Amino acid sequence: MAGMGTLVFGMMQSLDGYVDGIAGGPQLPAPGPKLHRHFNDHVRALAGSLYGRRMYDVMRYWDEDQAEWGELEYDFAAAWRAQPKCVVSRTLKSVGPNATLVSDNLENFVRGLKADVDGEIDVAGPELAGGLADLDLIDEYRLYFRPFVLGRGKPYFAGPRPPLSLVATDHIGEDAVRLTYVASPLGGGADR
């Protein structure tokens, strides 16, 4: 039976559109307990994740328990570890547990993944998402705006913004507003 994979790119970001500040400058604070639980549940429900090398390096933090973690962090780590991961990199020679290295023909790999997997596949990392958007492979964008301004840093969109149509707005956790968009061939009209 063929899958019905949906590729979703979603990240927390500042009000001015940055997912990460510059070194030594302001950064987005960690999510509060309600927002953390939202992301725990989200990760647990995913069919898998597709990581760029840099984002995968950041997320490898969850591979090993840390003494300072509380219940929420242990819960997230368990969900993350159980989730199948694909890591897109031409420089890595190996990846960690429950992960597959993708080094060639990203477009064919992702098209096959979407055809074989049933459920949501998370895209992690703005550069990877930008490349997949150029190939018209991302089905949905989830922008989690937090009430902070970073001024500069790594933007959510790594390149020109694709045409999008707003399909939902939600208040998530303590302080986030999630805007959900789908790719729109018409540039995001309101009559969709």
pLDDT (tens digit per residue) in 40-50: 999 999 999 99
Alpha carbon 192 to its chain's center = 25
Residue 188 in domain: no
Residue 159 in domain: no
Reference 49, options 18, 82, 75; nearest CA is 82
Spatial separation of the C-alpha atoms in residues 123 and 130, rounded to whole Å: 10
Q: Are 182 and 165 in contact (CB under 8 A)?
A: yes
Spatial separation of the C-alpha atoms in residues 170 and 4, rounded to whole Å: 25
| pLDDT at res. 186 | 55
Residue 177 in domain: yes
What is the gyration radius of the CA atoms in the chain, in angstroms? 16
| pLDDT at res. 185 | 67
| pLDDT at res. 24 | 86
| pLDDT at res. 156 | 95
| pLDDT at res. 40 | 98
Residue 77 in domain: yes
Residue 8 in domain: no
Looking up residue 84, the CATH number of its domain turns out to be 3.40.430.10
pLDDT tens digits for range 100-132:
999 999 999 999 999 999 999 999 999 999 999
The count of structural domains within the chain is 1
| 3-state DSSP assignment of residue 183 | strand
| pLDDT at res. 159 | 85
Residue 23 in domain: no
Residue 71 in domain: yes
Q: What is the mean pLDDT of each run of 10 residues along the chain (192 residues)?
A: 83 95 90 97 97 94 96 97 96 94 94 95 95 93 97 91 92 97 65 37
Q: In terms of C-beta density within 10 A (0-12 exposed, 13-18 middle, 19 or more buried), how is residue 129 classed?
A: buried
Domain of residue 117 covers 28-141+173-182
Query: What's the pTM value of the predicted model, to 2 decimals?
Result: 0.91
